[in-house]
Amino acid sequence: MDLQKFFKSLAAMAIGIMLLVIASGCSAKLPQGRVATPAAAMFIPRQAPLVFSLLVDPQQLPPLTQSGQRQTSLDAKQLLQSLLAKFGVDYSKEVQPWLGEEVTLALTTLDLDRQPQNGQQPGYLFALAVDQPERGREFLQKFWERQTLAGTKLSQERYQGVQLTATIASQPPLTPARKNKKAKTVPLPSLATALVGNDFILLANDPRVLRNAINNVQAADLGLAEADFYQQALASLDQKRIGLVFANLPELSQWHHQPVINPAQELSPPTYDRLVASLSLDPQGLVLDTALVAAPGVELPVGAPTLDHVPETLQSLPANTALALTGTDLSQTWARLNQSLQGYNVLANLIKQPLITAQHRWNLDLPADIFAWVEGEYSLGLIPVQRSTQLDWLFAVKDQEQVEQGIAHLDQLAVQQGFSTGNLSVQQQDLVAWTKLQTAPAPVPASKARTTSQPSPSPLLSAEVVGVHRHQGDRTLLASSLTALEPTASTLATDPDFKQAIAPLDLPNQGYVYLNWPQLRPWLEEHFPLLRTVETLASPLFDHLKSLSLTSYSAQEPIQRNRIYVRLS
């Protein structure tokens, strides 16, 4: 039996079920799960990098429905059936009869022997709740009988009163430590199982994982279930959930560790060290409630500004906005974002790189030149350009005394950089444009194309608009083009799709991030080619994805709560 293949398939199963959960959220009959907390958490060590739990019988998940009346052949039952069939297991006949309402997959450790010199050897634990103990015991017995008949060597032991059975690889993998001819080669187990207390069947890639799981039950201070940070996070989340995700952020970041651009950032301790996310369904999609647990010694900004209403500045963004960010007090929002990204350098570089590019293009210090004077409500929108994959941007901010001063400062910077500023009237709208003069060769008339004695025509002079701003009621608008400021029949604030996208996000909150997937998809695919591969692998989700929206709430020490809504068509 191929260890790597087996556990990659188990991981694929968990991811596949999660995608099906997301993509089937538009069904009228929504399972909610009767178990709010994964019982298998008692087996998981507190330092486990990643855990995913499905807290509902897979049989209850509705099939994925596509447009019209056609239904896909992919559902949770068929996914489990196809994956387990590769290992001679019939899900419907052998697993489904005894499977309870919990399936948990955990990456328990990044390296079982904790010896980096011989490479990482991750530990995996797959826990399936048992509803019918006798049938579960019968399944294990018949499974191992088939392995023995196939010539697989087995090892058995009794550990803390629990029977452990494992396969033994006939040829151990070659590691750097074993390249030395004098090194002793010991066969390594590749699959281990146990039935614990008639409640769970455990599968692991090494008996050490099962021994540690049993130890975690015996000593509550070792297991995840009794950890204070875990209990606090669970208590802050919605109890009506069908799934739960746990991540140890510092451990997980070491899985595929990458060097950072600025080595000094490595010295910064992370703001958060644990993430717990609950998954629940609504008639149009999936709601993820997340709780970020602050690292020891880190104080969260509890008194951060919040909104008790949808910002009025959204009335300035058109309904076809591809990406919108809105909130209040941009300076403090930027400070909170910087604190949240502290210690997670790869993510920080990914998010900040577009800002760095914009700063270089405009020769601006965004935090000092713009963020500092936006103390009221603001909205930033990226707007599709017709017959193009490019995006215009439009920034709307509620007028205050410092806003007028800030715009005047930007006008001064534009002049210093060689741009011209001037008043224009477009469609009865008074505005100020920043323009850049440029020349282009004048076209040569066809009648004179063959005449070389004629002097060349003078080059054409044109003005390229690089920025524009104007007032609209009690708001100031700043945009990348004249087109972005054109009045529209409907705004984002009144758009039914946007209203539905933010409906599950409770008020008060710290603002919204809204992504219109059909509008933003062409731009993302052009700038991130890898996205097409991800879309292919997760087509049940992306084929139905309509929008993503998220918000954050005021922190309550030591928890920062966020909510993400995945809306489906």
Sign of CA dihedral 501, 59, 45, 120: negative
Comparing 93-107, 272-286, 301-315, 499-513, which segment has the lowest mean pLDDT? 301-315
Residue 202 shares a structural domain with residue 102: yes
Residue in the block written with tokens 């510092």 = 250
Cis omega (within 30 of 0) for bond into 558: yes
Domain contains 183? no
| pTM of the predicted protein model | 0.82
**What are φ and ψ of residue 514, in 5° steps?**
-130, 130
- Reported in sequence order, the residue ranges of 310-428 that DSSP labels E, i.e. its strands, are 323-328, 377-384, 391-398, 420-426
Residues 454, 480 contacting (CB under 8 angstroms): no
Pick the more confident residue, 290 or 171: 290
pLDDT mean over 253-262: 55
Residues 505, 540 contacting (CB under 8 angstroms): no
State the Cα torsion 251-253-255-258 to the nearest 10°. Answer: -140
CB atoms within 10 A of CB 150: 9
Residue 384 shares a structural domain with residue 502: yes
Residue range 376-389, pLDDT digits in tens: 999 999 999 888 88
Residue 217 shares a structural domain with residue 311: no
Question: Is the confidence at residue 230, as pLDDT, over 90?
Answer: yes
Q: Which two tokens stand for residue 13?
A: 């199963």
- Helix residue ranges, H only, 219-344: 228-236, 249-253, 330-341
Q: What proportion of the chain, given as a percentage, has pLDDT over 70?
A: 76
CB atoms within 10 A of CB 448: 11
Measured CA to CA, the distance from residue 355 to residue 338 in angstroms comes to 13
Domain contains 548? no
Number of domains in the chain: 2
Residue 12 shares a structural domain with residue 142: yes
Short-list 101, 133, 131, CA closest to 36: 101
Q: What is the pLDDT, as a whole number, of residue 169?
A: 65
Measured CA to CA, the distance from residue 379 to residue 149 in angstroms comes to 67
Beta-carbon contacts of residue 297 (< 8 Å; ≥ 6 apart)? 269
Confidence of residue 537 (pLDDT cuts 50, 70, 90): low
Beta-carbon contacts of residue 336 (< 8 Å; ≥ 6 apart)? 301, 304, 510
Question: Is the confidence at residue 72, as pLDDT, over 70?
Answer: no
pLDDT mean over 216-228: 91
Measured CA to CA, the distance from residue 208 to residue 109 in angstroms comes to 11
Cis omega (within 30 of 0) for bond into 311: no
Residue 342 shares a structural domain with residue 284: no
Pick the more confident residue, 64 or 250: 250
Run of H or E residues at 349: helix 345-362
pLDDT mean over 496-503: 96
Residues spanned by the domain of 101? 3-173+188-252+273-292
Residue 243 shares a structural domain with residue 305: no
Residues 161, 103 contacting (CB under 8 angstroms): no
Residue 77 shares a structural domain with residue 40: yes
Domain contains 303? yes
Question: Is the confidence at residue 187, as pLDDT, over 50?
Answer: no
* Max CA separation in the chain (angstroms): 104
CB atoms within 10 A of CB 256: 7
Domain contains 563? no
Looking only at the bridges linking them, the beta strands covering 391-398 and 559-568 are unpaired
Residue range 117-126, pLDDT digits in tens: 767 788 999 9
Domain contains 540? no
Q: What is the pLDDT, as a whole number, of residue 27?
A: 43
Domain contains 66? yes
Question: Is the confidence at residue 175, as pLDDT, over 70?
Answer: no
Residue 277 shares a structural domain with residue 331: no
Looking only at the bridges linking them, the beta strands covering 391-398 and 243-248 are unpaired
Domain contains 543? no
**What angle (nearest 5°) sits at the alpha carbon of residue 287, between those of residues 283 and 292?**
170
Residue 202 shares a structural domain with residue 323: no
Domain contains 387? yes
Q: What is the pLDDT, as a whole number, of residue 171?
A: 47
Pick the more confident residue, 260 or 400: 400
- Mean of the per-residue pLDDT values for the chain? 80
Q: Amino acid letter at 302?
A: V
Residue 360 shares a structural domain with residue 246: no
Residue 241 shares a structural domain with residue 375: no
Residues 210, 164 contacting (CB under 8 angstroms): yes
Residue 410 shares a structural domain with residue 493: yes
Question: Is the confidence at residue 266, as pLDDT, over 60?
Answer: no
SS3 361: helix
Measured CA to CA, the distance from residue 77 to residue 70 in angstroms comes to 18
Q: What is the pLDDT, as a whole number, of residue 151?
A: 86
Residues 315, 276 contacting (CB under 8 angstroms): no
Short-list 431, 434, 442, 436, CA closest to 462: 436
Crossing angle of helices 345-362 and 330-341, rounded to 10°: 140
Beta-carbon contacts of residue 456 (< 8 Å; ≥ 6 apart)? 442, 444
| Range ranked top by mean pLDDT from 184-193, 276-285, 357-366, 373-382 | 373-382
Decide: residue 501, CB within 10 A, 0-12 exposed, 13-18 middle, 19+ buried. buried
